[in-house]
Amino acid sequence: MKTIDITTSKNLVHSYISNYMDVLTDITQTIRLKGGVDFRCEFSAPWGLEMQSGPVARFHIIVRGNCWLKLAGRPEWIQLHAGDLVVLLYGTGHCLVDAPGSNVVSAESVPHPDTPGDFVSVISGGGGLPATVLCGHFEFDREQDNYLLRSLPTLIHLRGTDTYEFEWLQTVHRFIADETLRARSGAVAVIQRLVEVLFIQMLRTYIAKSGPEAGILGAIADKQVGAALNQIHRAPERPWTVERLATEACMSRAAFATRFREMVGQSPMQYVTHRRLYKAAELLVRTQLNIAAIAERVGYESEPALSKAFKRIFGCGPGAYRRDRREGQAQT
């Protein structure tokens, strides 16, 4: 289990934004990101809230006061302060308390809203020091094999004190907190959009802070390999070759192929194939385009060529995949 704590630095890699913007746009569209706030909690010490492990990612925004977080199965406690954001990407069980040792109440016992997407205001505690916490979730289409999500750590902690770099964090926090407090018409829709912004901004910050580390995160932030990735995501239908991608990266063919494999974990053309097929899967579910048109959109010369490659990855043809996914959506 890996944990990342993002601390103060005045050297965010802003120059790499152009490299990864289209990659992030493509990825967040492919995974069909959704999110919302579940609870607005007004606590007074002593208090404690326990979240069971589950299929969705969890986040907490500390609006006021301080508290402590502990992951299930881990001995250490993490202190959180007003303005902090903590994200648990794999739905790991955890608890939030005013102080280590306080009794906890299961979130499962808290009444849930009657309207899907709405949130519940919770008041709990013993009358001591106050704390306001927003508890929410992110949902992804986890059937989409996503290198970025799989490379992210179990826990990401953005500190509200890092105001120089993370001014956006406080701005989004204020908007979300205000919407949950005032409960105006359309608040749920506004909160859902703001939560999506929160996730994307969190990704931007994490990638910028990751620097030259290996893996897809390092590749996105890398000026040369990131430029090639950007082009793949921007135009998967182009007739890419290693040579053409190396040109985008301003590198020799051999040097680019080696560096790409070292950073991404597969060859450039394997990655191109991966993106084309998962883009095709997204288009099958999201659009009414026929399979031949989708094949052209993602760089295959014909419907049979796409169908053959698609079946190798997904175990069924594009038509069957579209029917199964749409039937599944109709049942939810």
| Domain 3-210: homologous superfamily in CATH | Regulatory protein AraC (2.60.120.280)
pLDDT tens-place string over residues 251-269: 999 999 999 999 998 999 9
Decide if pLDDT at 181 tops 90.
Answer: no
pLDDT tens-place string over residues 17-34: 445 557 777 777 777 788
Average pLDDT over residues 233-252: 96
CATH topology of domain 222-331: Arc Repressor Mutant, subunit A (1.10.10)
pTM score of the predicted model: 0.79
Distance of CA 320 to the CA centre of its chain: 28
Report the side by side order of strands in the sheet with 94-97.
Answer: 78-80, 67-71, 94-97, 48-51, 105-106
Lowest mean pLDDT among 59-68, 141-150, 214-223: 141-150
Q: Which two tokens stand for residue 67?
A: 């508290």
Q: Report the distance separating Cα 153 and Cα 156, nearest Å.
A: 7
Cβ neighbours for 262, distance < 8 A, ≥ 6 positions apart: 214
Return the half-sphere exposure (C-beta side, CA atoms, 13 A cut-off) of residue 277: 25
Omega into 113 within 30° of 0, i.e. cis?
Answer: no
Q: Shortest CA distance to 42 belongs to which of 22, 23, 18, 67? A: 67
pLDDT tens-place string over residues 79-135: 999 999 999 999 999 999 999 999 999 998 887 766 666 788 888 899 999 999 999
Q: Write down the domain spans for the chain.
A: 3-210, 222-331
